[in-house]
Chain A
Amino acid sequence: MEKHNTEQLIESLSRGLAPVRPLLPPARRALLWLAAAALLIGAALLRFADLGSFAARYAAPRMALEAVAMLLTAVTAIVAAFHLSLPDRSSLWRYAPLPPLLLWIATSGLGCLQYGLGLGPAGDRVGESSHCFAFIIGVSLPLTALFYAVLRRARPLDLLPVALTASLGVAALAAFVLQFFHHFDVTATDLTLHMAAVLVVVGLASASRRVLA
């Protein structure tokens, strides 16, 4: 009886067959997506950011390393999300963004120790930090929606790793862009709020992962 049903299923599936175009390899899809995001972000930066002040601040090695770590987190997480959205790619991709993420947290933490705690109460600039919080979330959510629309094409089978890496990538990208507008060193409050914003984005995106299916 059951096998008979499988026969029927095969017949109905073949009858309804429509030609499909295979997806591009995930690395190439990631590259295209990153290029599009870079264009969008680049245009926004040229229009709104004070690039001279950015270059001056990021001459310091720790700051430069921090920015590189953010960017690497974003790129590895986005590439990982594209791989994880396919059935036959290694699930180890989910760990790819972890090393740059740790480097990001370490370099930011070091910055806090150097400047934030040293400044004492004056280092707690919650007024500015709340802008950062809103900035990361405000940039990430529309980008995540765009990213989901692209990832959805693969109809991922295991949604959570895709949602986690995708949203981490986008949030890290937003945090990187934030550096162009962040005219002061990171304090403990800043770092906490940045990380909280990233967590909020990852949490929201993971909670709505069903739209990927």
Chain B
Amino acid sequence: MHTAKGYNIIAAMAPESQLQQQEASWAGLMRAAQGGDVRSYDQLLRGVTPFIRNLARRYCRNGELAEDVVQDVLLTVHRVRHTWDPKRPFCPWLAAIAARRGIDRIRRATRIARYEVSDEQAVETFATPAANNDSGALRAVEAIEPLLAALPQRQRLALEAVKIRGLSVAQAASESGQSVAALKVNVHRAVKALRKLVAAERDGGD
């Protein structure tokens, strides 16, 4: 009955006695969290995070991607916390969510890898020598700031969160209260709008 996806992974990771202990304590915390107890919930999320991280690393070797999965799982746990039945064990529920999110992330990463090329060097060596110059980069930042200010607020915030502050999409979405899809759309639109603004400025400047 309780052999949901991913549970065997958890079972393989921890000795039986430890697992039972953890199960009982997490189930208790989750029950309290469903009732709205903030401290239990905080304790629970902190308790399960290393566990999820271990699971996530099984899906993604890349540490940064794995941490994205961890955050995705935490957000999902939060969103579907009413689907855990207090009469059922907690670990299989958590493991199933982690497995699902891990699989989603791998699918997304493979899809992206098929269409996009990531070049670590590209940001450092540009064809124009001036662009590799730090002061040039600084000037570019100064130049782009007024352009950023010209964007609609939602687009600007989305772009800043993801591209400048380096938050993950999931985090930025939760922070700004937008859905992940809406956030991605806003980032995309912001980049497009910026491109137009830069082009307009260049044309005007010539």
A44 at the interface (CB under 8 A from B): no
B59 CB-CB contact with A under 8 Å = no
Please state if B67 and A2 are interface contacts (CB–CB under 8 Å).
yes
A158 to chain B, nearest CB (A): 6
Number of residues from B at the complex interface, CB < 8 A: 49
Q: Out of A14, A153, A158, name the residue touching B41 (CB < 8 Å).
A: A14
Whether B3 is near chain A, meaning CB under 8 Å from some CB there, is yes
Task: Point out the residues of chain B lying under 8 angstroms from A87, CB to CB.
Answer: 4, 80, 83, 93, 96-97, 100
Complex alpha-carbon distance, A13 and B81, angstroms: 12
Complex CA distance for A187 and B98, rounded to whole angstroms: 49
Within the complex, what minimum Cβ distance (angstroms) separates A198 from chain B? 28
Does A171 sit within 8 A of B, measured CB to CB?
Answer: no
Instruction: Name the segment of A21-29, A64-72, A176-184 touching the other chain.
Output: A21-29
What is the total of A-B residue contacts with beta carbons within 8 Å?
102
Query: In A48-101, which residues have CB < 8 Å from any B CB?
Result: 86-91
Residue of B nearest to A155 (CB): B80
* B residues near A1, Cβ cutoff 8 Å: 166
Q: Does A18 contact B (CB under 8 A)?
A: yes
Contacts of A12 in B (CB 8 A): 174-175
Identify which of residues 1-55 in chain A touch chain B, using a CB-to-CB cut-off of 8 Å.
1-3, 5-6, 8-15, 17-23, 25
List, sorted by A's number, 12 A–B pairs whose CB atoms are closer than 8 Å. Answer: A2-B63, A6-B67, A6-B71, A6-B74, A9-B71, A9-B171, A12-B175, A13-B45, A17-B33, A88-B4, A91-B5, A154-B80
